[in-house]
Amino acid sequence: MTHLLSIIVLLLKINATKSCAGVSLKTQELYLLVFVTRYLDLFYSFISLYNTCMKLIFIGSSGCIIWYIRKHKVVSQTYDAEQDTFRVLFLLGPSLLLAMFINHEFSFTEVLWTFSIYLEAVAILPQLVLLQRTKNVDTLTGNYVFLLGGYRALYLLNWIYRFMTEPGYRQWIVWVSGTIQTAVYCDFFYYYIKSWRNNERLSLPS
């Protein structure tokens, strides 16, 4: 739910301020790709109404954010394309190659699911680079990134608990990817907590 909360915070920021300043379109597009490739089971499997709704919400909300940044006549004018220049091919290529060679089963849906796991671990990098370039980070954007990283950190605790209480519980691909994803956020967490404790505006070093 922390992940969903982070998306709600970002949508509220964009809608309320009519600005996407400090938001990376590249990261949002990567997350949409993560959700689309992960939730292909929507076409052939039904777990529960809640599960289906949550998957559709993640896909739809990501698409909505991208629409705001690309197409909204006011919001799109605030997008800083000159700063948001991270080369996402350096994330897409390795993620796909890893998914093809390191997976649970070499099938179309399983490879794409594994690809989504690897890609999610690094999808936030364009956003973090953009925030470093713009230096000062507004409160809502900072909260969005913090909640997004916090949800994965909470997953680590869940995995540790399940490992200790469920015999045979092993998910090496998810564990390693999740640990890398959390590590990517560590620098941001440090400066976020530091700014909060000092009651200062969040600023990331170059």
pLDDT digits (tens, 9 = 90+) for 30-73: 999 999 999 999 988 888 999 999 999 999 999 999 999 999 99
Write out pLDDT tens, residues 67-120.
999 999 999 999 999 999 999 999 999 999 999 999 999 999 999 999 999 999
Residues 179, 134: Cα–Cα separation, whole Å: 27
Provide mean pLDDT across the span 1-19.
Answer: 89
Most distant CA atoms of the chain, gap in Å:
54
Residues 32, 66: Cα–Cα separation, whole Å: 9
Tell whether the model's pLDDT for residue 1 goes beyond 80. Answer: no
- Confidence band for 136, pLDDT divided at 50, 70 and 90: low
154 vs 29, higher pLDDT: 29
In this predicted structure, what is the pLDDT of residue 190? 92
- 27-193-156-94 Cα dihedral, nearest 10 degrees: 30
pTM: 0.92
In this predicted structure, what is the pLDDT of residue 202? 84
In this predicted structure, what is the pLDDT of residue 71? 95
